[in-house]
Chains A and B, each alone.
Chain A
Amino acid sequence: MKIGVLALQGDFAEHITMLKRIGVETAEVRLPKHLDGLDGLIMPGGESTTFGKLAVAYGLIEPIQQFGKSHAIWGTCAGAIFLSKDIGRDQPLLGLMDIKVQRNAFGRQVDSFETDLEIDELMKVTGTEHPYHAVFIRAPIIESVYGNARVLSALEDGRIVAAQEGHLLATSFHPELTDDTRFHEYFISLAS
């Protein structure tokens, strides 16, 4: 099992650290050739506009779209934005997932927050019972899911913060900033 992490910008090193902790081989992806031999791809937190700019400049959009047809991809925060089909503004996207995302949906940095989430599927797959502690940073929300995408987790007020479509996964929070490896284990189960 070898998982690539998109390393154009953002907290890709934190994802690599988490993957190593659960014994997964990793690679940094900056150019299309770096996708060769990977079993899955994580797109980290960072700035989605920066990802878009660099992905276009180095011809990554189409190769990642192709990769996503047969391999697992997980986007966290900016990565989730990049994975989506619609964000209501003009910037380069992969358009792989049937989700509509709103950027910076909770406000500015002083509004960034941590909270516990009950994510039934995650607990089932990892055989655990305690809630998942999620870190949101200038976070997007998933406004709506359609097509084959479905809600994985929502806040108490109903706003969607995690979604899945087959082997594609989007979270508006940052599992890589915690000590809890369950989300990475869940992703590996999709990539296997």
Chain B
Amino acid sequence: MESKTGTWTEKKGLAQMLKGGVIMDVVNAEQAKIAEDAGACAVMALERVPADIRADGGVARMSDPDMILKIIDAVSIPVMAKCRIGHFVEAQILESIGVDYIDESEVLTPADEEHHILKHNFKVPFVCGCRNIGEALRRIGEGAAMIRTKGEAGTGDVVEAVRHARSVIGSIKHLQVMDDEELMTFAKNNGAPYELVKEVKTLGRMPVVNFAAGGVATPADAALMMQLGVDGVFVGSGIFKSGDPAKRAAAIVKSVTHYQDASILAEVSKNLGEAMVGRNAAHMPESEKLAVRGW
């Protein structure tokens, strides 16, 4: 009996195990434990949450491997970590220390302004951000085994997450009613690989799991994204920049499971303390938007 590792089924499969769950940004082992105890299905290990990256400015890079390893040791759930767009050596390092998923992320400062990592070259699976179906299918074409809509990280404003999720899911619906003759032009107009466009039409959904990210700050935000049709939610700054992280984290986990039950959503939304201080994302200058990073 021959065993195979690093297959497409394995890469996509781990993302399927995360569905219906919440992936939380954490900056140290203590936060990772709080996230796990609250019911997170995975954590994203990074040195600064996006709200702080925004505030601090400068170049944001891969986190210290030692800090990521401490988080790996602290929890039993999968640990993800971010590398810069196009920085395949940061990805090699993250793979070698045993992270379970790599986020090639626009939240960090891009290392390459024309190319993303060829993710098929790795055994570890990758998740990438997208604003629309073309960007999503380009990333999948490069080997991303999971997609997240970008939203606008570090703002606490869900408006961009909604825009991107509606765009991707709207395009999937649009493809369902298109004639096969129209698919090549759709691929051309959206900058999407033709074979993947055909696959989306056949499947009626993304070929990989699709989470929402970037601006989710409340249980209602998380349930909104789920009702719009994503498979799960990333919460970055929204938890550990709030007044009571453990309580808010547990409430968001419950809201993703019970996203269609308004009475449960009302219950979990009570007395959560201060939400993170928001920043209006819709009227932010383009130069400050992280979501525009990605090619």
Interface residues of A (CB under 8 A from B): 7-14, 30, 45-47, 49-50, 53-54, 57, 77-78, 89, 103-104, 107-117, 131, 135, 137-138, 155-156, 174, 177
Contacts and interface: CB of A to CB of B under 8 A. Distances in A.
A109 B124 contact: yes
A174 B13 CA distance: 9
12 contacts: A46-B19, A47-B18, A47-B41, A47-B78, A50-B40, A54-B39, A104-B76, A108-B72, A108-B100, A109-B78, A135-B10, A177-B13
A54 B254 contact: yes
A78 B4 contact: no
Given A112-B5, A115-B3, A10 B10 contact: no
A115 B2 contact: yes
A114 B254 CA distance: 32
Interface string B89-128: 0000001001111000000000000000000000111000
A112 B14 contact: yes
Closest 6 A/B residue pairs (Cβ): A53-B39, A109-B100, A115-B3, A108-B98, A9-B20, A113-B3
A152 B258 CA distance: 35
Contacts of A117: 1
Contacts of B38: 53
A137 B13 contact: yes
A49 B38 CA distance: 9
Residue of B2, B9, B20, B258 with highest tally of chain A CB at under 10 A: B20
Given A8-B257, A109-B100, A137-B10, A45 B4 contact: no
Contacts, number: 126
B6 interface: yes
Nearest to B4: A114
Contacts of A110: 5-6, 95, 98, 123-124
Given A7-B257, A9-B41, A108-B72, 14 more contacts: A30-B258, A46-B18, A46-B41, A50-B253, A54-B254, A112-B5, A112-B10, A112-B14, A114-B3, A114-B4, A115-B3, A116-B2, A138-B17, A177-B9
A49 B36 contact: yes
